[in-house]
Amino acid sequence: MEPLNDDFSRDLLVSRVFGDKDKCPEELNEVSYEIARKCGGLPLATIAAASLLLSRPDKPDEWIYVQKSLIPDLRIQPTSEGMAQLLNNSFNNLPHHLKACMLYLSIYKEDHIINPDDLVKQWVAEDFVSATEGKSLDEAARNHFYELVHRGILETEHISCSDEVVSCTVHDMVLNFIKRKAMEENFVTAIDHSQSGIRLADKVRRLSLHFGYSKDAKAPACIRLSQLRSLVFSGFWKCGPSISEFHLLRVLFLHGKHGEFLDLTRIRELFLLTYLQIEGNVCIDLPSELQGLKYLRTLHIGAMVTFLRSEVVHLPPLLHFRLPPNLGYFVDAGSVQSIEELTNLQDLQLACPQIATSDHIKHNMKLLGSIIGILKSLKSLTVVPVCFSEDSNDNENSSIAIFLDFLDKVPPPCSLLQRLELFPRVCVFHRLPSWIITIEKLCILKVAVMELLRKDIETLSMLNALTVFSLYVRTTPAEPIIFDKSGFHVLKYFKFKCSTVSSLRFDEGAMPNLQRLKMEFNGSTVEQYNLENVGFKHLSGVKVSAKICIAGTSEANRMAIASVLNNAIRQNTRISSVIIRFINRVIKGTNLHTLL
């Protein structure tokens, strides 16, 4: 990447400090340019310098002090002592609670894609977070996360439709600094297979072992692990330490390699365990001993489970539960009913393999139907593909989908539910379930239907808290889908996927707070209809993106289709931006299986 020029570097600096480059006081103009020049056009250095000014942004003396503390030009030697000094000053300037959160990042290896949901739950398990008035521990931890993002310590990789960071990384230079600092303070000990023989501190509190596919790596010897609070292990189980000796362990993250079996029968000895995550293409047996984990708040299973006994759900403190992708089948029928003992469960995620038989999918959907009305504290219910990314739902048409009409007959979900996302390539309603209107706090909804009527939109418009709405319609609607000024007043994001865009219609005053509109439809329908009837002119300040599905057509035809759509949208000069992409496929019907 080319270094930024002085103007761009200065704009980045003051934008980070004040939120807007035009809000910088005039008396700070000269010193802000001096700081930007000394940062040498390096975004990382500029952001680090900005983090030093966040606590007292309007104090000229503070700006002058930062300007004098920087070496003349970091562009010449970006890895010099000057860069290390800048990062160290940035670290020392952090509030105490953020220092622990930052040092904890050293458990990750280079280029690791970090899941923010997992990270904040690990912070909570480690007691890095204190609840504040009006905020839960998880909410406070997420605030810490965004503080580190704002300070440039974490770099966002992907942002969801609800403006949440879905994935992030740590810049290599920042991570190297954090690892050195964490080792110096004996906060985290992180080693890979090439370092497994080195001597470590006598007492280790957090251990991160990344052995990859090495079969001869060994856990460090001659160190005391009795005080271990967090263990992250990636590699073959036989190379890892015996977990049963870590009686003070709070966080356990295991990522196994292909073909291994992990025996967890002694996990009951980790009586303080708060966070347990197991990933990888491996088999595990979730033993009945799990019910002895009285403090377990998070249980994320991404591995293949050979047995799931009913005792596993006797975990009243559990808040977050990610069910394994092969959910295969509870050993006894009492397991489903026992789920009602999870009285505090707030977040339930069911992983759905993207390659699976219809019987497998039917089983998992029946499970969903059995528990949807049981959990009385549930705030988030999601069905996602195993290998989840934000766009994975849209990569291709699913060959198997399941009608979820039976869910219309089950007790409605908890009234506290705020997020309901059902993997649209698999989970399909013939019509919207009647209980959808009872979920008054619903903020995020992703749903697929076979048929959509005008009265369904009227029902959805009464969900007054809805801010993110993704709607997938499997057949061409028989009547226009009209959005008028009644309802959807706080909606910020709307995604619409259907074979034709012509069925959409926005009346004047519709969706007054909409910020982003995403559409996906067949290109063959664009030139057949008058797109002015869609009513793009009634949308204000909206960013529009469209995926046009078309196969086997010429470039000239694609350009003609794009021109028609672009002209229809651009007639509204208040549209913020338009992005049009073509996809080499068409939206068509799927093989739908009725689940009785």
Q: The tokens of 177 are what?
A: 């600094």
Whole-angstrom Cα distance, residue 59 to residue 53?
9
**pLDDT for 388:** 37
The total of other beta-carbon atoms located within 10 Å of residue 435's CB is: 16
Give tens-digit pLDDT for 449-480. 988 888 999 999 999 999 999 999 988 888 88
Q: The tokens of 104 are what?
A: 């904890």
Beta strands 206-210; 230-234: pairing state? parallel
**pLDDT for 417:** 93
Confidence of residue 408 (pLDDT cuts 50, 70, 90): confident
For residue 61, what are the contacts with CB-CB under 8 A and spacing of at least 6? none
Q: Which of 484, 444, 448, 476 lies closest to 463 in space, CA to CA?
A: 444
**pLDDT for 355:** 58
Q: Which percentage of the chain shows pLDDT scores above 90?
A: 27
Phi and psi, residue 61, nearest 5°: -60, -35
Task: Check: CB of residue 543 under 8 Å from CB of residue 521.
Answer: no
Task: Check: CB of residue 330 under 8 Å from CB of residue 336.
Answer: yes
Check pLDDT > 90 for residue 296: yes
Looking at domain 96-174, which CATH architecture does it have? Orthogonal Bundle (1.10)
Q: Collapsing DSSP states into helix, strand and coil, what is residue 163?
A: coil
| Residue 95 to residues 132, 171, 248, 294, Cα–Cα distance (Å) | 16, 21, 27, 32
Q: Is 76 left (phi over 0), alpha (psi -120 to 50) or beta?
A: alpha
For residue 552, what are the contacts with CB-CB under 8 A and spacing of at least 6? none
pTM for this structure? 0.84
Give tens-digit pLDDT for 3-50. 778 788 888 888 888 888 888 888 888 888 888 888 887 888 888 888
Whole-angstrom Cα distance, residue 366 to residue 60?
64
Of the two residues 404 and 171, the one the predictor is more confident about is: 171
**pLDDT for 217:** 74
Whole-angstrom Cα distance, residue 456 to residue 481?
9
DSSP-assigned beta bridge partners for residue 482: 505
**pLDDT for 431:** 86
Confidence of residue 399 (pLDDT cuts 50, 70, 90): very low
Domain with CATH 1.10.10 in the chain: 96-174
Overall average pLDDT of the 548-559 stretch: 79
Burial letters 308-326, b for 16+ CB under 10 A, else e = bbbbbbbbeebbbbbbbbb
Of the two residues 395 and 251, the one the predictor is more confident about is: 251
Least confident of 1-15, 57-71, 90-104, 211-225: 211-225
Task: Check: CB of residue 187 under 8 Å from CB of residue 102.
Answer: no
